[in-house]
Structure formats: C-alpha cells, structure tokens
Structure 1
Amino acid sequence: MDRAGVGKVCLALPGATLDHPFGDDHDAYKVGGRMFAIVGGLGGLSFKVSDIAFEVLTEDGRARPAPYLARAKWVHLEDPADWPDDELAEHLTIAHGLIAAKLPKTQRAALGLA
C-alpha cells in the first residue's frame, strides 16, 4: 500500500482527520485529536497496535518498534508496500479503534463512535 492508499483507508474511518504536526512531509492520522497512524517523509508507516500484536510483529521481524513511540506499543514499517493491502488496512482499522476507545465517552459520541 502506498502513501495515498494509507490515507484513503485512514480517512474512511469514523471521525478520522489528517494533520501535519511534524511538517508537510509527514501525514498524521488522528481520531479525537489523538494520532493512530503516521506516514513519514520517506514513506515509512508507524501505527498503534495491541500489546500482543506488538510482541508478535516485532518478534517475527515483520515490523520494528516505532522510534519514540515503542513504549506506547507502536510499530514501524519501513515500506508498507511490502504488506498485503487488506492486512495493512485491518491493522490501521484496529489502530483507530484502540485510540478511539480511550477517548471520553462524550467525545466518542460526538464523533459517531459510541
């Protein structure tokens, strides 16, 4: 999946927005003002995963811990095109859900997530 494909998947999720807090060459996808995925200037992709997915993906070498965000269970893919599109789309959907679940109930309702 390329940068445009990641954007298409992320922005199709409920309440998702695109921001550029780290410069125009970085795409940060957010829900409720909180990031769930980032595409870097060189095309790498980082996203939030569950504790179990973090262990599995990093131990088998499919992903590496995301710089600066690994302690929050984010993984990084150097080239998202190496992953099947449907599998990556599922991970991005899960990342969105993990972040959305931590939003206050009133905010989730306002975004149509409750």
Structure 2
Amino acid sequence: MNGSALHKTAAECAEELPGSQLEHPFGPAWEVYKVRGKVFMLMTEIPGRPVVILKADPVEAHALREQYSHITPGYHMNKKHWITVEGGEGVDKGLVRELVTDSYRLVVAHLPKADQPVDPHTYGIGARAAR
C-alpha cells in the first residue's frame, strides 16, 4: 500500500466510526480525527511522507513495531501509547482498518460511559476476528 492509499483507507475507516469528527486544529497540513473531543487519529505528510498516527495499547504497539518495519513510535506523540504507520510492504487495507478501529476503541474506553458512542469492549470485534 502506498502513502496516498494509506491516507484514503484510514480516512474512510475513521469517517465510518460513530461520533468521529475531522478537525484541523494544527492547520491544513494535519487532519485530526476525534471522538467526543478526544484525538484517536492524525494524518499528515509533514515528515516528508504520508503517515497516519494512531493510539495503541503499549504492549501491542511494541509487537507491531517488531513485526512491521513501516510501523514506528508515534511522530510527535507519546512513544509508548502512539504509533506511526507508513505505506509499504505488509501494510494492507485490513491492517489499517484494524489499527484505526483499535485506536478509536482505546479512546472511547476512556470516555465517561454516558459519552461513549459505542461499547468499546465489543465494537468492531467481529470484523477483527474475520481478518
């Protein structure tokens, strides 16, 4: 998957998520997706190539970085809780959709229960199992 396909796939997935909103708080070079005011995905080409920055469970983030050369610590974010995904070998549509959905679920899980647009413990799990 190349960088433009990466951005397109990530944006399409984010736009499908309940309560997701696109904002540009850092200017037009940054697309920031939020749920209930909390960031779950950023997209930019600032580092010289298209990247998607996502929240990830620290243990899973480490495993992803070990498994995929195109997944690195979060660009300009907490390196333990965020990952940066670039286009490249091994990065496919299914992986990108899974990572975007996981990021969204992690953020939703930390919202007050009354503000959660979905149950973060079950949302998207069936699609993941089918992968």
TM-score bucket of the superposed structures, by smaller chain? 0.7 to 0.9
Secondary structure class of the residue paired with 1:21:
coil
Secondary structure class of the residue paired with 1:45:
strand
After alignment, is 15-24 or 51-60 more displaced? Answer: 51-60
Letter in 2 for 1:56: A
> Aligned residues: percent identity?
23
Matches within 5 A, 1:15-30: 15-30=19-34
- TM-fit CA distance, 1:72: 4.9
Q: Is it true that 1:89 corresponds to 2:93 in the alignment? A: no
Letter in 2 for 1:67: Y
Instruction: Report the equivalent of 1:43.
Output: 50
Instruction: Report the equivalent of 1:78.
Output: 86
Q: TM-score, normalised by structure 1?
A: 0.84
Q: TM-score, normalised by structure 2?
A: 0.75
Q: Give the conservation status (yes or no) of the 8 Å contact 1:3–1:43.
A: yes
Q: CA 1:95–1:57 in 2, change beyond 3 Å: closer, same or farther?
A: same
After alignment, is 37-46 or 7-16 more displaced? Answer: 37-46
**Counterparts of 2:98 and 2:79, CA distance in 1:** 22
Letter in 2 for 1:19: E
RMSD across aligned positions (CA): 2.0
**Counterparts of 1:101 and 1:58, CA distance in 2:** 23
Instruction: Report the equivalent of 1:54.
Output: 61
Letter in 1 for 2:78: A
Q: Runs ≥4 in structure 1, deviation > 6 angstroms?
A: none
Instruction: Report the equivalent of 2:109.
Output: 101
Secondary structure class of the residue paired with 1:70:
coil
